[in-house]
Structure 1
């Protein structure tokens, strides 16, 4: 396994965990467990950062002249990275919406 393949698997693993945390956060918010939702989002952001940092190192290497051949595995890793970011944004919005909904229901 070469460095790009290893980095790709690290990205996929980290952002896969991040997506799971974001979904858990949404589910917690749906039940009104907003502290739990916030904690899951925090864990998700930490996992996402791990994947993002690995990706950033690849970009730095490329910018420094360490050009790598493009692999379908790296493309998949980048796709997973982008989808995790999208899920994070949607989760934040869904949690905020659930907070407003719970607040309105209490009135």
Structure 2
């Protein structure tokens, strides 16, 4: 179970890192790099979300899990990464428009 939780935390953290790299690239005018980093961020989010989905499906199939602070932390990290990536996508679009 802990392996799955750390998987979520790790991929969510990587996604946030790529998203902030995208923002930095957009700010510097490198829109190609920004798009590439946003794509990598989404790939990491997909990996984290897939792990989360497996845990949810296991619980629905009768495997009960004790709610732990670590699992709550993983969920928090994933939700934050998703929100930040979505906001950064909008900011990258704003930089793109400003450069036109």
Q: TM-score range by the shorter chain?
A: over 0.9
Matched, 1:62 2:66: no
Q: Which has the larger radius of gyration?
A: 1
Count of aligned pairs = 100
1:1-107 equivalences in 2 (<5 Å): 3=1, 5-103=2-100
Unaligned runs of 5+ in 1: none
SS of residue paired to 1:7 = helix
Deviations 1:9-58 (A, max 9, x none): 11000110000000000000001100000000011100111111101100
SS of residue paired to 1:69 = coil
SS of residue paired to 1:70 = coil
- Shift of residue 6, structure 1, vs aligned partner: 1.3
Alignment TM-score, normalising by the size of structure 2: 0.98
Q: Report the RMSD for the aligned CA atoms in angstroms.
A: 0.6
* Cα distance in structure 2, aligned partners of 1:12 and 1:6: 10
SS of residue paired to 1:17 = helix
Alignment TM-score, normalising by the size of structure 1: 0.92
